[in-house]
Structure 1
Amino acid sequence: MRIAMIAAMAKNRVIGRDNKMPWHLPEDLRHFKAMTLSKPIVMGRKTFESIGRPLPGRHNIVISRNSQLSIEGVTCVTTFDEAMTMAGDCDELVVIGGGQLYQQLLPKADVLYLTLIDLDVDGDTVFPEWDDGSWQLQNSVTATNDKGLQYSFNTLFKKC
């Protein structure tokens, strides 16, 4: 099973502020849906709470320290190993946040789907730094939305 991470981040690595994304970029939301649909997605409890509901068309798995956590329509686990077991036989499992999970699981990731947004924003959550020498950019598509905001969808694979 391939372990992927998906995130949108500003130039200064910010991915969140007060458990929300500090921008509104519908193009990225469509990209997120396309990249995660029909796949198991793994997130921390705070990320789930910020979304507010299970995302349809995906096996939603929430990792929490609270072993008693129970959420309708969601598989709740306490470790990433449990999450992988619960994901079952799939080609790719996608980690969708938040910051603590990205930090913990980046060494296990095989692929990064990163939306880079041409902004510097204030925030309290950042995507962890990675060793550029360990990752190979496979694909990058740059666009500008109707409000003039430039962004790029990037796919990086871990080098063997």
Structure 2
Amino acid sequence: MSRERFDTTGFMQQRADVADAERTMVFGPGGRGTTAAPVARLVVLGMREQGTEALAGLAASRLGLEARILAETAASQDVIDACSGEGFVLVPPLTSLRDASVCAALRACKVFHLMVNPARIAASKGLSGESAEAFCREAMELDALGMCVMQHPIADGKTPDEMLENVLESLGIMS
């Protein structure tokens, strides 16, 4: 086993690299040293019953952004188009995550994923038996797809205000 020192060259930031407070360093699929505006494009993934729309509205209001709530029936291209530009909090339909091009577009945004407890949501909808099982299977599939593009998980069962606190903390903004 080599005792050579670990090379940290790409991990050290120079003062000039972080002088612009509107930008932040990200280390992810885009590669080391990719820069992205911290609050330019936010996405809230989750089931509508979890409060995604309320969270998007609160975050947009707090950050001075536009809330873009897409219909559950929105086409994949609508989601991709909604991801273009800056200055928004987007709530896409979870079913759109089945399209790889949508996932690619979402990876260019800061994605907050509301973790799901499908059994709790099925019970709140009054589902039982086979209908509850089918609902839970689909919810778990969509939840797994959401985890593939998320950057920040938010635990299930929180109020919109508690979720907003998680979003602001993840962005480095003190409430």
* More strand per residue: 1
Who wins on radius of gyration, i.e. which is larger?
A: 2
Higher helix share: 2
